[in-house]
Amino acid sequence: MQVRAEQITKTYPHANAPVVALSPISLTVAEGEFLIITGASGSGKSTLLKILGGLLAPSAGKVWVGKQEITHLTDTALTLFRRKSIGFIFQDFNLLPVLTALENVAFGLQLQDLPTRQAKEKARFWLAEVGLAGKEKSLPAQLSGGQQQRVAIARALAMCPQVLIADEPTSSLDAQNALQIAEILQKLQRETQTTLVMATHDTRLYPFADRLLELGEG
- The pTM for the full model equals 0.88
- pLDDT for 201 equals 86
CATH code of the domain in which 99 resides: 3.40.50.300
Lowest-confidence range among 42-51, 134-143, 165-174? 165-174
Q: What are phi and psi of 40, to 5 degrees?
A: -65, 165
The per-residue pLDDT for range 184-207, each reduced to its tens digit, is: 889 888 888 999 999 998 898 999
What's the number of domains the chain is made of? Answer: 1
Domain residue limits at 118: 3-214
The per-residue pLDDT for 45 is 92
Query: Of 145, 152, 141, whose CA–CA distance to 173 is shortest?
Result: 145
Write the pLDDT tens digit of every residue in 94-112: 899 999 999 999 998 998 8
Mean pLDDT of the chain: 91
Torsion (CA) 196, 123, 134, 91 in degrees, nearest 10: 40
Cα–Cα distance between 45 and 36 in angstroms, integer? 10
pLDDT score of 147: 92
